[in-house]
Amino acid sequence: MNNNYANLLKLRKILAAFTLLVTVFSASILKAQNNDSLRLGQLEIDSEAGIDQLRLRYLDKKKASNEFPGYRVQIYNGRKADLLKMRSEFLAIFPDMHAYTVYDAPEYKLQIGDFRTRLESEKFLKAVVKEYGSGFIVRTMIKPPQLDLAPEFSDDLESN
C-alpha cells in the first residue's frame, strides 16, 4: 500500500508541474497577443527596394491607361502563323471591327471587339459563329469607343 501511495504522490507532483507549465506558457501567449492587439490598424511591410518601384510603375501605367472592364469575342487560340492568317481573313469579312492579338504563353489568342456589355458581345458572337462555326466571350480590359460627332455638332464646337 505504501508503494501505491508513493506512486500517487509522484503522479500528483507531475500533474502539478504540468499544470504550472501549461499556465505559464498560456499566460505568455496571451501577453504577446495583447501587446499586438494594442497596435490595431498598423501594418508594416518589409519588402525589397525594387518591389516598391515596380508597384509605382504599375500604378502610373494604370492611371495613364484609359481601358476599362468589358468583353471581347475570342475566335482563335494557337500558333502565331495561323493566327495572322485568320486575322487577315476576319478583317476582310468584318472590316469595321477591331482585332487584338494577345500572347498568353505559349499560345496566341485572337480577340475581337470592344463591347461594354455582355449582351453586345453575344449579338456579335452569333455573327461570328455563323461565319466561323465557333467562338466565345471573354471578359477583359477594353478600349473606349471612338466618338464621332455628327457634322452639325462639330460645326457648333468650331464656332465657339
Question: Which SS3 state, helix, strand or coil, does residue 113 take?
Answer: strand
pLDDT score for 40: 67
Q: Are 29 and 77 part of one and the same domain?
A: no
Asked whether residue 25 is domain-assigned, the answer is yes
pTM for the full predicted model: 0.56
Residue 107 has pLDDT above 90, yes or no: yes
Which residue has 504599375 as its cell numbers? 58
For the ranges 11-15, 67-71, 135-139, 154-158, the lowest mean pLDDT is seen at: 154-158
Query: 142: burial class by Cβ within 10 Å (0-12, 13-18, 19+)?
Result: buried
Residue 149 has pLDDT above 70, yes or no: no
Work out the average pLDDT over 125-148: 88
Residue 91: other Cβ atoms inside 10 A:
14
Task: Give the range of the structural domain holding residue 13, as residue numbers without chain letter.
Answer: 1-34
Q: Are 26 and 84 part of one and the same domain?
A: no
Residue 49: other Cβ atoms inside 10 A:
6
Residue 124 has pLDDT above 90, yes or no: yes
> Using an 8 Å Cβ cutoff, are 123 and 112 in contact?
no
Residue 13 has pLDDT above 70, yes or no: yes
Q: CA–CA separation, 69 vs 71, rounded Å?
A: 7
* Cα four-point dihedral sign 132, 136, 140, 143: positive
> Using an 8 Å Cβ cutoff, are 84 and 121 in contact?
no
Q: CA–CA separation, 68 vs 115, rounded Å?
A: 11
Q: Are 77 and 120 part of one and the same domain?
A: yes
Work out the average pLDDT over 110-121: 94
Asked whether residue 127 is domain-assigned, the answer is yes
Q: Are 135 and 76 part of one and the same domain?
A: yes
**Domain containing 95 — which CATH number?**
3.30.70.1070
Asked whether residue 21 is domain-assigned, the answer is yes
Asked whether residue 132 is domain-assigned, the answer is yes
Q: What is the pLDDT of residues 31-68, one digit of tens each?
A: 655 555 555 677 787 888 788 888 888 888 877 778 88
Q: Are 85 and 133 part of one and the same domain?
A: yes
Residue 102 has pLDDT above 70, yes or no: yes
Residues β-bridged to residue 76: 110
Work out the average pLDDT over 111-135: 92
| The total number of structural domains that make up the chain | 2
Residue 152 has pLDDT above 90, yes or no: no
pLDDT score for 35: 54
Q: CA–CA separation, 58 vs 79, rounded Å?
A: 29
- In angstroms, the first-to-last Cα distance of the chain is 114
Q: CA–CA separation, 108 vs 77, rounded Å?
A: 6
Q: CA–CA separation, 75 vs 80, rounded Å?
A: 13
